[in-house]
Structure formats: structure tokens, C-alpha cells
Structure 1
Amino acid sequence: MKLFASRPSYGLILSVVCAVFVSCGTENQSLKSRDRKISESIDVLGALPESVLDPADNPTSPEKVALGRFLFYDPILSGNRDVACATCHQPDFNYAEFLETSIGVNGSGSGSKRQFRLPNTIPFAKRNSQSVLNAAFNGLTNDRPYDPAQAPMFWDMRAKGLEEQALLPIKTLEEMRGHAFTEEAVLDEVIARLRRISEYRTLFSAAFPGETEPVRIQNLAKAIAAFERTLVATNSRFDQYMRGDSSALSISEKDGLNLFLKAGCAKCHNGPMFSDFKLHALGVPDTENRKESDAGINNDYAFRTPTLRNLRFTAPYMHSGKFQTLDQVLLFYEDIAGGKIENPHVTAGQMDPLVYELDLKFKDISGIVEFLNTLNDDTFDKTVPTRVPSGLKVKGNVE
């Protein structure tokens, strides 16, 4: 598998060096940021690989993918049989969802029309629904070996690999589990349900041949992960450009790329996925859908750098879903580079020092957004099964 794309044969290298003198809000931060240089070139970015790397213990197969697709769309995996993986990860929304934070269990409707059924004791999901598209490449950078089994998942990177990721929403109260089962018992309940359905027994046997009892938790995770590894979009115009087609981007889009690098965005948004896959504290405002402030996995308000790919289809943005447009996101970065902290629970000392190295100007925002749109690729698989083996509603209660 080719993990890192070659640079354009025409030798175009955009290299920018800018001095950053930003007021950081405190004397110590100002001293730290003064005289720092931003030096970024197109070499810190990259095209996506044209193929996906499977973990050694879960090689893909058509049978495994077919099973995984059914499981992804079947609400039998949820405690109340009303939510599927696809409820909050829909093809029309780039396998994400057009909501600030998701409504899982006890919800109905789709997109902005989704709401809780009454009476309701289930909270909103804690964070914005991240896209599953290209999650097969999570962890892929220019400077580290890529291991799909160790790929960081979720906003707080609490899971590694798509196999581990696949099971956690099933066990989470507000996402798929609900009140009917405990976190410890729900997976056993789901497996018992699947074993009672003859079609699923046949599908699991075909996907995992030779096993005495193929319908088990580990294979449930492997099948869903195998399907999710088929959900990739690897041929954006930016990918074409990085593979050598200089005409894939317009002059203004190339200018936007230059502005993106000049502003220092690639300090965190780098590599083929435009993510360093690290946790950063930025002081993003909390969602109002939850009463408690979200301090993240380490209680320091740091969250994983999201990919910038296919942003056209994945609004709203950030872990709390507080920004509806890319312009709002970039204005937020302009503010925090100037020392403004938008989350009252975050102190200046908690903010990631890299934000003070940004040199983002208001006049450059439209150009950067124009470049970001070259990262969109709408050619991914959007196939939705017409039925699922359980006989339940495909995608759960989304009507």
C-alpha cells in the first residue's frame, strides 16, 4: 500500500516564513510567542493513499463487508431497537449528521428535524457526530508509521482502531444503549438477538468461515470495521493536485492554499488527513445541549484535531458543534490567536501555545475557505440497503 503520495512532478513548492508577534493575554504567553517563526511548506500535507490498509487480524472480504453494511444500518444493535449506527452517520451528511450534537436513543426524524420523543429521560449525545468517511485513514501522518489497529478514534482518542470504536456507541447510554440494559450486559444481549436470526447466522458463517460460533462480539466489531474501511473518498481535487495534476486547482485555490500555510493552519492540520491526531485545548465554547461543561478525557479541555476533508458535507463543526460555517470557525481562530478565550471554563494557561503562533487575518478567510473546498470528494459509497435481516426500520427511527 502506498502510504504517502509523491509531490507534484512540476516542482511547485509553496514555502512561507512569517514572524508572529501576537498578544497572548498574559505576560508569560506573550514572551513565549514573541519572535517565533512559522515555516510551512506544501510538504507537510499529502494526498490520501489510493487503497486502505487492513489490520493483520481483520483482512477484508466481500462477505465481511456485506455483513458489516447490514449491521451498520440495523437498529437491532441498540438497546431499544430504535437506533442504528447510520442514524447519526448518514450517507447524505458524509456519514456524519447535521446536528450540533446527536439525538440517539428515543429520538425520531432525521437531520435538523430530529427530536426526542416524549416523555424523555435520555440526554443529547455528548459531542458532535464525527464523520466515519475516511476514518480508515485515522492516524495517518507524514512522520510516523501507520498501524490501522492503533488508529485514534473519537474526539478524545479513547479508542484505537475501527474495531474497538465500533462497539463503544452500542454501550453508551445516550447513543445506542438506553436504559433497558447496563453497559456490561448490552453487548451480550445484542449477540443473543443476532443468534436468533437465521439470516444473520448465515451471514456471520460466510464472513468468518471455519468458526464453531461465528456470531460473537469480536466478529460483530470486525464486520462493522470492515464495512467502514470501504467508506473512503480519496480523489478530491487536492489529491489530484498532489499527485501531479497542476490544473486540478485554480489560481485562486492555489492562493488559498498558500494562505492556509502562511496562517499556520498546517501546524495542526497536516499530513494526508489534515490532522496531527493530537489533543489541543482551544477554548471552544460548550454546546448548550448538555448541562455540564465538556472538559475532555484529561479534564484539560483538549480535543483531537479533526480532519479538514469533505467539510462541505459535515457541518456543524468542532467537538461541540457550535459553529455552523467555515467562516465562523476561521473567525474563532482569528480571535483566539489574538488572546480571546471563548469558553469561560478554560484558562489562559490551559490554551495550547500553538494557537498564539497563528497569523490568521480576516481578509484571508475567504481564500482559505476556497482552498478547503478542494478537499471535498463526493464520489464515496452511499449505498443504503433496502432492508435489514432483523426486519426493523433501516437506519432506525429517522422518519
Structure 2
Amino acid sequence: MSRSVLVSSLALAVVVACGSDDPPPPPPAQASGVCIDGEPVAVYPAGPYALETDGVVPPGLTFEGVDGPVALDSFYEPCAPRSRVLVVRTSGAWCGTCQWHVAHTKALLEEPRFAERLVLLDLLVADRDNDAPDTEALVDWRSKIDAPRLVAKDPAFTFGPALATRLPLPVYVFIDTRTMKILRSAGDPPPDALFARVASSIADVDGAEPVPAPRTPLVDGLFHAEQMDLIRGMQWKGERPPPDPTNAYEDDPGAASLGHTLFEDPTLSPNAKTSCATCHMEGLGFTDGLPQSEGVAKVDRNTPGVALAAYSRWQFWDGRADTLWMQALLPFEDAREHGSSRLFIAHRIAESYATKYDAVFGAKYPLPAAAIAALPPEGKPGDAAYDALSDADKERVTRVFVNVGKALAAFERSLSVGTNSFDAYAGGDLAALSKQQKDGLHMFFESGCAQCHYGPRLTDDAFHVLRFPTGRQDDAADLGRADGVKKLAGAEFLASSKWSDAPSAAKKVPAESAAMLGSFKTPPLRGLPGSAPFGHGGTFPDLLEVAAHYSTRGLPHADPRAIGTTEQWVPTFDQSSVTLLPSFLETLTAPVLIPP
């Protein structure tokens, strides 16, 4: 508007006002802070916007919730009679410490002195496999919260920058709803520390002194309530593996007996030297003590133990098998492992195991010995000898092959492990560990290890990027699950395939994502001391080097021996922690128990 027009307009307004018989309007209400007559003067507070302590949460942040979008702006309430604190808790469904916190929400955040002062929003960064969460994962996570409120997805870990340093999950961020300013944050806080942060946040918005936090005695002078609950949950009590309905023979003693014999039989390989037991030696806890497995030739990864494999959701370091029986089949036709084929194995079963095979499988799948005898001696899909077979012959051969895998899985499922001094400690014998071992266990929690290593096997069965050095023979970085998911998607023996005894029970095959690059399955720590060398590439000879690797969050991102980005919730820790951790880890022995 030009200056002349503005002056004319003002003059006209004065004339109209002076010439009116109406009484003058009342003076406008005066602003009180950010409110006028109980209404906010702005849709959202001014900045400075920053996801850090004393920063204002940036406007427009919206998360996809179970019941629709959850907008952070909607928590802004500058004119409320009494201010509240928005508690944003970020968790991963795979995370053991997160599971403890959400299961104790009432005790942690519904303390009577905080009544009506807190608003809780739970954000989920990943599902139980550490993939981006979907709605099903959100619903499942909400069911684990003992006082469920709003739950939404946050695969970007939006509030990670609010931490002054990298801390383990769950991450709590406390926000003044009157100003949307971040008051403070915490990572996996002990119950008393969480109480103190809540009390201080309420005191901040009230301009008052905080309610004194309780000082709960530590168990054995070291462990708070969360840690002791997790320790008790780590005790081995001989739990049976979860059922696998895709293998109807999983608990058949005859199948397990046949599987045990096949496990040790080198004649299932054409060189008559390589058996499953070549890499999974009973005397070494069903590992081989080598950096990388050596079958017909050396492969790219360290041999995982099989004693607890039946408990795992996915098989192999990269998760490329969704059942134990599928896992048992893949090494046979791998050129560097057994170098065998399904035709070769079908012939061996017909020649040497016909009676035992029919005793287990004959009622439904009698061995077609005569038909097999007329077939070529070797061949698998892609080989001319196999590809030339009729569909009926391919079906016969593959059925025998699949049943070999199911017998092997039945044997591996029958394995168990013995207990150790840590189990005695977890069961209540506080004298079962030395002071140094207890200090190592305490450091295990303080260093964030219990995020992924919890439960009786001390694993989350999920996939994580921790930038361990490659074990590949060409020295290239190992792509990990990014490669495994591709193989899984096109796999012949999926739990959903016709070879499954319950296709409808199959897990959903995950979609490939960039976050999978360089991620590997969390190995169980139970049995760890006898499984050296360590890492998916077998590059660390002892537990001290493993601890040192974790202390720096893995190899630097410029190091070509690894790929992928280390996850934000992996903290660093100091040399004293590196020194202490092995003293605890060495208690986690697991002597393998083989049924008679």
C-alpha cells in the first residue's frame, strides 16, 4: 500500500469514528504471555527450532500411528490452566531394555504425584527384526505396553539428536507442552533416574522445586530393578524351542536319530570327506574353531553354532533361510560347502538309509528307491542332468532331499545346553560370580549390550549394523542381510512353499531396504566362550578384541572392510569397560547336551 493511500484510509477512519453515535468499543484484551482471553495468539511457538535441550520442537512433525496420524503440534497447549510434560519415548521392538520399560509403564510414569501432569507418546523405530515397523508391528508393540497411550512409527529416530551423547534405547525426551521446548532427555534411565527426570521436568514447567527422587537399594550393590529383572530373564532353564509347524517331523525321535546319523556322514558329499560335522564339531560346541568355515573350500563367514539354532526366527548370519530345515538343505548344494546335489543325496539315501528313511517318512512319502536308481548320479537345478528330468522325477528327488533337511532339523532341535555360574547367579546365588565377573556384568548393562543381548540365549534374533570386518575371500565388504533378503525372496524351500508342512504358518518375507546393508543377525552369547574366533567374518580371535570393536562403534565408515551405517543407539565406552566385559562374557559357557 502506498503512503498516500494509507494516510487517506486513516483519515477516513477518523471521520467515520467521530461522526458515529455508537459508543466507543471496549479496549482490546491485553495479551498474557502467548494467550488472549484463553486462546493462543499463535498456532505454534516461535523458535529457535532444534531437536536438542532448550530447543523448540520444530513444527509439522507428524508420525503414523495405529489410529491415524499423530501430529506433535497437537500437544501444544499454551493456555492450559496447568502445564504438562509431554514424554516421548522411542523404542525398538527388538530391544530388551525397551521391552522392560514398556512393560513397567504404570510403575515408571503413573506415579500418583505425577497424576495428570504427563502425556505419553511411544514411538517405534523398528520391528522385532529391526526392519521399519508396519501397522502390525505397532499393534503388537502397543499390546506390550501395560498402560498404552499413543503409539506411532518413527523409523527415522527423529529424537535421536536430542541426546547429548549416544545412549541406548529406550530414549526419553521431556517436552514442555506450553512452549514445546525440550527440557531434557535420557537413554535407558534406571527407574530412580527416570523418576528424577520426570520430577525435574514438572518442576521446570511449574517454576518449583522437584519432588525428591527415591533411592532404591541396589541388588548386590550393583544392579537396579530393571537390570535384575533382565538378569533373571537370562537364566537358562532348559526351555524347549518354539514349535515349527512347517516340519511335521520336528519332534519325532526317529527323525532326530536319522538326522544325527546324516549329520555325521561325509558320504553325502561327492568327495566323501565333508559332512555337517566337518564344520559343526561336537567337541567344539558344534563350531569348528576356524575364522571361516572350510568345507570343500573356504567360505566367507564364521561357522555359527547349531546347538541353539532351533530357537532362532531366521537362519544364517544374513537370514537367508526362514526355517531350520531350509537351513540344513542349502549347504549341500553350495559349491564351497558340501559341493553335493539333491540327486547325489537321493541316491545315498536309497543305497544306505532306505529302512531308516521309510521308518520315519514312509507312511506319507515312501522312498521311491527303484525310480531313483534309474536316474543320473548327480544333479541339481541348473545342472543339465537334473533339468532334463521329468517333473515327476524332480518331485521324487526333491521330496527325499527335503526330508533329509527335516531329519537334520529334528536332530538339531533335540540338542540343548547345560547351565553355568551365571545361571546360578541369575537364580539368586549372589556368591556364584566373582567380583570381577559381577563388575563385567554391570558394565554389560552400562554399555548398552542388553539392548540386543537378553533372554535365556542372550540375543534378540534381529539384524544390526556394527561394521565388523569382512571375512570374504576377495576382501570385499559383506553385504549381509541386504544379500540374504534377496536370496530369501526367491528361495525354493521357503516355509510358504509346497515343501512346507504348514505353508500358512510362514513368516512374512521382509522387503529389502537400505538399512539392511551390512547388517547381520545378533548371535547368542550363550556358548560364546567356546566359539572363537568371533564376528561374522571370524576376524577377532578373543573377546577382548570384540569388546574393543564395540567400544568404538565398529570400523570407521571410510574403512572398506565393512559397509552400512552403525546404528545411532550404539554407544561408545571406555577402556575400563573393554577390560571388564570379557570377565562376564567368559561365564556364558554352554556345554552341549546330546540326547542318547
Q: TM-score, normalised by structure 2?
A: 0.49
TM-aligned CA deviation for residue 177 of structure 1: 1.6
In the aligned structure 2, how far is the partner of 1:306 from the partner of 1:157?
12
> Contact conserved, 1:91 with 1:382, CA < 8 A, in 2?
no
Q: Report the residue type matching 1:128 in the other structure.
A: N
Q: State yes or no: 1:352 paired with 2:567.
A: yes
Quick one: which of 266, 284, 290 aligns to 2:468? Answer: 284
1:318 and 1:89 mapped to 2: Cα distance?
17
Residue number among 16, 28, 41 corresponding to 2:227 in the alignment? 41
After TM superposition, give the deviation of residue 42 of structure 1 in Å: 3.7
- Find the counterpart in structure 2 of residue 377 from structure 1: 590
Residue number among 565, 568, 575 corresponding to 1:362 in the alignment = 575
In 1, distance between residues paired with 2:595 and 2:250? Answer: 22
For the 8 Å contact 1:155–1:319, the answer to whether it is kept is yes
CA contact (8 A) 1:90 1:96 kept: yes
Q: Say if 1:128 and 1:320, in contact at 8 Å, map to a contact too.
A: yes
Alignment gaps of 5+ in structure 2: 1-157, 168-186, 190-225, 369-399, 484-516
Q: Which has the larger radius of gyration?
A: 2
Q: Helix, strand or coil for the counterpart of 1:166? A: helix
Residue 253 of structure 1 and its aligned partner are, at CA, apart by: 2.0
Q: Does 1:137 align with 2:311?
A: yes
Tell me the distance in 2 between the aligned counterparts of 1:310 and 1:214. 38
Q: Could you tell me whether the CA contact under 8 Å between 2:307 and 2:592 is conserved in 1?
A: no
Specify whether residues 333 and 65 from structure 1 end up closer, same or farther in structure 2 by C-alpha distance, changes over 3 A only. Answer: same
For residue 55 of structure 1, the aligned residue among 244, 250, 255 is 244
Deviation at 1:291, TM superposition (A): 4.3
The 8 Å contact of residues 101 and 289 in structure 1, kept in 2 or not, is answered as no
**CA–CA distance in 2 between the matches of 1:285 and 1:60?**
38
Where does residue 361 of structure 2 map in the other structure? 208
Contact 1:136 1:232 in 2 (8 A): no
- 1: CA distance, partners of 2:580 / 2:439: 7
Picking from 538, 541, 545, the partner of 1:328 is 545
Alignment check: 8 A CA contact 2:293 2:301 kept: yes
**Residue matched to 1:164:** 326
Aligned to 1:52, the other structure's residue is in SS state: coil
**Contact 2:238/2:416 (8 A) holds in 1:** no
Deviation track 1:156-206 (CA, whole Å, cap 9, x = no partner) reads 11112211111011121111126xxxxxxx113211221122xx1111122
Deviation at 1:382, TM superposition (A): 9.7
Q: Deviations over 1:343-376 (max 9, x none)?
A: 42656x7222222xx2422112332211112210
Shift of 1:32: 6.1
2-structure distance, mates of 1:212, 1:379: 32
Deviations 1:313-332 (A, max 9, x none): 11000000010000000111
1:397 corresponds in structure 2 to none
The DSSP-based 3-state class of the residue aligned with 1:97 is coil
Name the structure 2 match of 1:16.
Answer: none
Task: Supply the distance in 1 between the matched residues of 2:592 and 2:350 (Cα, whole angstroms).
Answer: 35
Contact between 1:77 and 1:84, CA under 8 Å: does it hold in 2?
yes
Match of residue 524 from structure 2: 307
Report the CA distance shift for 1:47/1:161 in structure 2 as closer, same or farther (over 3 A).
farther
Contact 1:286–1:343 (CA<8 Å) still a contact in 2? no
What are the equivalent positions in structure 2 for 1:200-349 lying under 5 Å apart? 200-208=353-361, 210-214=363-367, 216-287=400-471, 289-298=473-482, 300-336=517-553, 340-341=556-557, 343-344=559-560, 346=562
TM-score (norm 1): 0.71
Alignment partner for residue 337 of structure 2, among 164, 169, 175? 175
Q: Which stretch shifts more, 158-167 or 202-211?
A: 202-211
Checking the alignment, whether the CA contact within 8 Å between 1:29 and 1:353 is kept in structure 2 is no
Structure 1 residues 79 and 373, CA, compared in 2 at 3 Å: closer, same or farther?
Answer: same
Residue 457 of structure 2 aligns with an amino acid whose one-letter code is M
Task: Report if the CA contact (8 A) 1:135-1:228 is conserved.
Answer: yes
Which blocks of at least 5 consecutive residues in structure 1 are unaligned?
Answer: 1-27, 106-121, 139-150, 179-185, 384-399
Distance 1:319 1:226, change over 3 A: same
Q: For 1:277-328, what per-residue CA distance to the aligned partner results, in whole angstroms no more than 9, with x for missing partners?
A: 1111112112263343311231611111111111221100000001000000
The code of the aligned residue for 2:229 comes to D
